[in-house]
């Protein structure tokens, strides 16, 4: 499965062979995982927000990869315009969600003098 | 006798110039920038540097979109994501800057747990992504028609793009008018909501940050973190600034 | 250019590399040479407006070499960095600003098909990349570890990002009139006499042009919107701590952006590389065969565009030295209470004008009405084809696509 990306002639193969959808999926997976790790580990609320942006971007990379007729193999079908439309909607919604999350963070900062999410425990038992 | 490097012919590791597929070269360049800086966001400790790395990662992603033939989505990523959302984020970082002596690092145990979960998730995603043979076929190199007008027409409800090569004859190709209208109203609601949440409120008791600022005077001018907390700080200069930039674009 | 080089016998890769390097060097020279000329022009224009002479010594009676002298002085200055500054970000910021300004020139056409890379989303790309310049400013302001720099950077970021909204709406009107975001197409559609320019297309576009001028001046932080570098208030705003060559990068980025928005205004509203009088058509050059005739036509177009853009820059300088500076709340009011609603209403008006009077006030003179705008019905390539198609056929094809 992973054999086609075997380590030793990796560099040479990557540059001479045309890329496929799978290459983009790998990039999307790495960005998605980095975003999840960011959301899980950061104590700064803005760091968590950056993780969310990375997650949405990873998903967008996947959508664009599936939508591209250039990347699809011979005789394979791509999502075409549908994938690009979904990517456009994701970008718009991510911007909207970042605005609201930032407003919430600013309010939290004004009330608690910190952006440490571990200190958001007013409702704790 | 062809030269070898660790048992493999040299040309496999360092290919001759004529054999380079330039699309793959640029894909590798942009992909390594995007993934490298995404990982850097996770490992960095300074919030401003994290924001910078995120900007670079998302800009490289725009390059990846352009390489895949999605010109409109790539330009949109640059304009809205990088030019709008990330400016918003950097504003937020500046407005909530903390003094450096407040340590806000994660504990070791949490990091190990996150590492394990992250590795498992990455493994699962890679296995899923590389399992379908149709997705590993090399690129066919078919150029797409320019997507700006078909996308615009689709958002009005009329599909004018060519159907995919081997789509079923009677495949339904829906327009995107309803999602377009829903998103327009959504953006309006978000604009109003964010502006309301971030408004400057009339207070009877002082804000927690003003109390904190009066109790601990900033150490020196070089503590640029203290600038964000000062009473004449950037927050009052920009009354409602950040909330306005997240609106319809 | 690539075909020419491969016909000379160079390999494909070398031809592409040389073509890319030549294009990049040309654009760089436009920015740098333009900055040189505009610095001198600024000093002369500001001097005359203030009833004095300006540079009259360096290089003869008109001070031609003043810019060169300035450049030498800047190169020889000591390279400083404040003590608490973030080293990496401090050094990176001027390059980020300059790169954003430079990249936008890739999609700007200087004559018909004389363009770095012909994109079919050129207008969108230029507006998107212009918005990235603000990152250099924010980085500079933050990394300088100085109150004044941070204030200036924040103000400028808020201003640029807010003015992107009316700027986008203003820019959409010529795109709607031409039917394509490709700037080569938009310029091509305004060929002929000056009444073909989109400025004179309808009154709504005329008003939109002036709103665009306001937003463009605000976007590049020129007076009266220059609080970010407000010399009398913030020392020098976000580039207070920068000196010597680093400062000159910011300066070049600013003049590059000024030239860019002026050139955009020229292409979108003022006919681009088509002069007010179509000299090439009248003289008969545009029908000429062979190599020299098209070359001369393009040279003429190039001169036209650079002339119009330079005129725009000089008008910006004129405005700078005439009007007082606006406060930040006045800047925001102008953007949100004046520019945005006016741009929106004018956009709606231009759209209605297109629907009700597609052929203009005098149909038969100038543009034909009811044409297919972009070549998407012909397939990939996107070169605009002016092909009259009956309205009924268009609707029939659209309904056939929509129903399964």
Kindly determine whether residue A81 and residue B151, on different chains, have CB atoms separated by under 8 Å.
Answer: yes
Q: What is the DSSP letter of B130?
A: T
C317 in Cβ contact with C45 (< 8 Å): yes
Within an 8 Å CB–CB cutoff, is residue B49 touching chain A?
no
Query: Distances in Å between the alpha carbon of B89 and those of C16, C278, C378?
Result: 39, 49, 43
Residue B133 lies in a domain: no
Q: Which of B95, B110, B128 delimits the end of a domain?
A: B95
For residues C115 and C301, what is the distance between their CA atoms, to the nearest angstrom?
12
Q: Which of A1, A54, A76 sits opposite B130 (nearest CB)?
A: A1
Residue B212 lies in a domain: yes
Percent of chain B with pLDDT over 90: 27
Q: Which of B122, B127, B207 sits opposite A110 (nearest CB)?
A: B207
Say whether pLDDT at B226 is over 60. Answer: no
pLDDT confidence of C62, banded at 50, 70, 90?
A: confident
Residue B148 lies in a domain: no
How does the average pLDDT of chain C come out, rounded? Answer: 81
B189 in Cβ contact with B195 (< 8 Å): no
Percent of chain C with pLDDT over 70: 83
> What pLDDT shows up at residue C287?
61
Kindly determine whether residue C13 and residue B17, on different chains, have CB atoms separated by under 8 Å.
Answer: yes
> What pLDDT shows up at residue C373?
47
Q: What's the rounded mean pLDDT across residues C282-286?
A: 70
Q: Exposed e or buried b for every residue in B96-134, given b needs 16+ CB within 10 A? A: bbbeeeeebebeeeeeeebeeebeeebeebbeebbeeee
B249 in Cβ contact with C169 (< 8 Å): no
For residues B60 and C147, which has the higher predicted lDDT (pLDDT)? B60
Within an 8 Å CB–CB cutoff, is residue C403 touching chain B?
no
Within an 8 Å CB–CB cutoff, is residue A55 touching chain B?
no
Which of A2, A19, A105 best probes binding to B when mutated, by most B CB atoms within 10 angstroms? Answer: A19
Count how many domains chain B has.
2
Residue B244 lies in a domain: yes
For chain A, the chains sharing at least 3 beta-carbon pairs closer than 8 angstroms are B
> What pLDDT shows up at residue C381?
36
Q: Exposed e or buried b for every residue in B192-203, given b needs 16+ CB within 10 A? A: ebbbebbeeeee
pLDDT confidence of C194, banded at 50, 70, 90?
A: confident
Say whether pLDDT at C311 is over 80. Answer: yes
Q: Which of B70, B95, B120 delimits the end of a domain?
A: B95
C133 in Cβ contact with C72 (< 8 Å): no
Residues B193-204: pLDDT tens digits? 998 988 877 776
For residues B141 and B46, what is the distance between their CA atoms, to the nearest angstrom?
42
Kindly determine whether residue B170 and residue C404, on different chains, have CB atoms separated by under 8 Å.
Answer: yes
> What pLDDT shows up at residue A25?
94
> What pLDDT shows up at residue C171?
95
Which residues of chain B are within 8 Å of residue C398 when distances are taken between CB atoms?
Answer: 158, 160
Within an 8 Å CB–CB cutoff, is residue B209 touching chain A?
yes
Q: What is the DSSP letter of B74?
A: H
**Both tokens assigned to B70:** 């999605």
* Beta carbons within 10 angstroms of residue B33's beta carbon: 17
For residues C348 and C336, what is the distance between their CA atoms, to the nearest angstrom?
18
Say whether pLDDT at B27 is over 80. Answer: yes
Within an 8 Å CB–CB cutoff, is residue A43 touching chain B?
yes
Domain span including residue B178: 174-249
For residues C239 and B98, what is the distance between their CA atoms, to the nearest angstrom?
24
Residues C237-265: pLDDT tens digits? 677 777 788 888 888 888 999 999 999 99
> What pLDDT shows up at residue B1?
54
B and A touching (3 or more beta-carbon pairs closer than 8 Å)? yes
Q: What's the rounded mean pLDDT across residues B22-35?
A: 91
Q: Which of B69, B95, B121 delimits the end of a domain?
A: B95
User: What is the CATH class of A18-118?
Assistant: mainly alpha
**Both tokens assigned to C79:** 């390279």
Say whether pLDDT at C403 is over 60. Answer: no
Within an 8 Å CB–CB cutoff, is residue A96 touching chain B?
yes
Does residue C68 have a cis bond before it (omega within 30 degrees)? no
> What pLDDT shows up at residue B3?
62
| Closest-CA residue to C266 (of C35, C79, C83, C110) | C110
B238 in Cβ contact with C164 (< 8 Å): no
pLDDT confidence of B99, banded at 50, 70, 90?
A: low
Percent of chain C with pLDDT over 90: 24
Residues A39-73: pLDDT tens digits? 988 888 899 999 999 999 999 999 999 988 888 77
Say whether pLDDT at C46 is over 70. Answer: yes
Within an 8 Å CB–CB cutoff, is residue B218 touching chain A?
no
Kindly determine whether residue A96 and residue B13, on different chains, have CB atoms separated by under 8 Å.
Answer: no
Q: Which of B17, B48, B79 sits opposite C127 (nearest CB)?
A: B79
C390 in Cβ contact with C401 (< 8 Å): no
Which of C89, C119, C161, C397 best probes binding to B when mutated, by most B CB atoms within 10 angstroms? Answer: C161
pTM reported for the whole predicted model: 0.82
B79 in Cβ contact with C127 (< 8 Å): yes
pLDDT confidence of B192, banded at 50, 70, 90?
A: very high
Residue B45 lies in a domain: yes
Residues C346-397: pLDDT tens digits? 999 999 988 887 766 655 444 543 344 444 444 333 333 333 344 444 455 5
- Those residues whose C-beta lies under 8 Å from the C-beta of residue C29, and which sit 6 or more positions away, are none
Kindly determine whether residue B145 and residue C382, on different chains, have CB atoms separated by under 8 Å.
Answer: yes
> What pLDDT shows up at residue A39?
92
- Those residues whose C-beta lies under 8 Å from the C-beta of residue C369, and which sit 6 or more positions away, are C358, C359, C360, C363
Residue B31 lies in a domain: yes
How does the average pLDDT of chain A come out, rounded? Answer: 85
């Amino acid at each position: 499965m992973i054999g086609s990306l075997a380590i030793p002639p990796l560099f040479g193969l990557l540059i001479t062979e045309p890329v496929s959808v799978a290459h983009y999926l790998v990039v999307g997976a790495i960005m998605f995982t980095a975003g999840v790790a960011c959301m899980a580990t950061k104590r700064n609320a803005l760091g968590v927000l950056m993780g969310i942006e990375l997650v949405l971007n990873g998903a967008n990379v996947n959508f664009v990869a599936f939508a591209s007729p250039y990347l699809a193999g011979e005789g394979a079908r791509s999502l075409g315009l549908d994938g690009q439309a979904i990517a456009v909607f994701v970008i718009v919604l991510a911007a909207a969600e970042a605005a609201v999350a930032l407003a919430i963070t600013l309010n939290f900062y004004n009330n608690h003098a910190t952006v440490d999410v571990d200190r958001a425990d007013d409702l704790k038992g | 006798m062809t030269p070898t490097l660790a048992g493999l012919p040299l040309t496999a590791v360092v290919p001759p110039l004529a054999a380079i597929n330039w699309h793959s070269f640029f894909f590798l360049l942009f992909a390594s920038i995007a993934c490298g800086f995404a990982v850097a966001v996770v490992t960095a400790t300074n919030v401003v540097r994290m924001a910078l790395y995120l900007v670079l990662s998302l800009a490289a992603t725009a390059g990846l979109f352009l390489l895949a033939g999605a010109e409109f989505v790539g330009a949109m990523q640059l304009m809205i994501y990088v030019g709008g959302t990330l400016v918003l984020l950097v504003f937020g970082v500046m407005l909530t800057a903390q003094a450096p002596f407040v340590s806000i690092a994660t504990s070791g145990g949490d990091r190990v747990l996150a590492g394990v979960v992250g590795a498992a998730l990455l493994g699962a995603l890679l296995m899923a992504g590389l399992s379908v043979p149709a997705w590993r076929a090399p690129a066919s190199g078919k150029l797409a028609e320019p997507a700006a007008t078909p996308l615009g027409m689709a958002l009005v409800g009329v599909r004018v793009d060519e159907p995919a090569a081997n789509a079923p004859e009677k495949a339904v190709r829906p327009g995107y008018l309803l999602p377009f209208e829903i998103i327009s109203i959504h953006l309006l609601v978000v604009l109003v909501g964010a502006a309301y949440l971030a408004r400057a409120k009339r207070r009877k008791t002082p804000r927690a940050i003003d109390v904190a600022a009066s109790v601990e005077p900033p150490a020196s001018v070089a503590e640029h973190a203290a600038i964000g907390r000062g009473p004449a700080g950037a927050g009052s200069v920009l009354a409602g600034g950040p909330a306005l930039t997240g609106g319809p674009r | 250019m690539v075909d020419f080089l491969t016909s000379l016998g160079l390999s494909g890769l070398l031809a592409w590399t040389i073509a890319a390097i030549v294009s990049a060097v040309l654009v760089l020279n436009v920015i740098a040479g333009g900055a040189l000329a505009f610095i001198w022009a600024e000093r002369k224009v500001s001097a005359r407006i203030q009833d004095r002479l300006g540079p009259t010594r360096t290089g003869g009676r008109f001070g031609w070499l003043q810019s060169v002298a300035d450049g030498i002085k800047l190169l020889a200055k000591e390279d400083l960095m404040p003590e608490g500054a973030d080293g990496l970000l401090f050094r990176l910021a001027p390059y980020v600003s300059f790169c954003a300004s430079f990249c936008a020139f890739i999609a700007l056409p200087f004559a018909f098909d004389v363009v770095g890379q012909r994109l079919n989303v050129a207008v969108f790309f230029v507006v998107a990349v212009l918005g990235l310049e603000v990152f250099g400013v924010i980085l500079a302001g933050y990394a300088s570890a100085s109150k004044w720099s941070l204030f200036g950077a924040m103000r400028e970021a808020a201003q640029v990002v807010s003015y992107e909204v009316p700027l986008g709406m203003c820019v959409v009107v010529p795109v709607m009139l031409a039917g394509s975001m490709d700037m080569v197409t938009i310029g091509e559609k305004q060929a002929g006499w000056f009444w073909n320019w989109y400025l004179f297309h309808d009154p709504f576009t005329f008003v939109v042009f002036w709103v665009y001028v306001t937003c463009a001046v605000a976007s590049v932080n020129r007076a009266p919107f220059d609080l970010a570098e407000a010399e009398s208030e913030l020392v020098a705003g976000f580039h207070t701590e920068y000196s010597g060559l680093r400062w000159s990068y910011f300066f070049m980025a600013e003049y590059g952006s000024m030239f860019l928005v002026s050139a955009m205004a020229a292409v979108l509203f003022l006919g681009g590389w088509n002069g007010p009088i179509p000299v090439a058509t009248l003289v008969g050059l545009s029908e000429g065969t062979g190599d020299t005739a098209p070359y001369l036509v393009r040279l003429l177009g190039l001169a036209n565009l650079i002339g119009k853009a330079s005129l725009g820059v000089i008008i910006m300088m004129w405005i700078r030295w005439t009007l007082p500076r606006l406060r930040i709340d006045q800047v925001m009011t102008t953007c949100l209470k004046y520019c945005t609603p006016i741009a929106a209403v004018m956009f709606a008006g231009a759209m209605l004008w297109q629907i009700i009077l597609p052929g203009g006030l005098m149909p038969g003179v100038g543009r034909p009405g009811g044409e297919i705008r972009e070549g998407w019905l012909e397939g990939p390539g996107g070169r605009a084809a002016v092909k009259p198609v009956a309205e009924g056929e268009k609707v029939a094809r659209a309904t056939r696509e929509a129903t399964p």
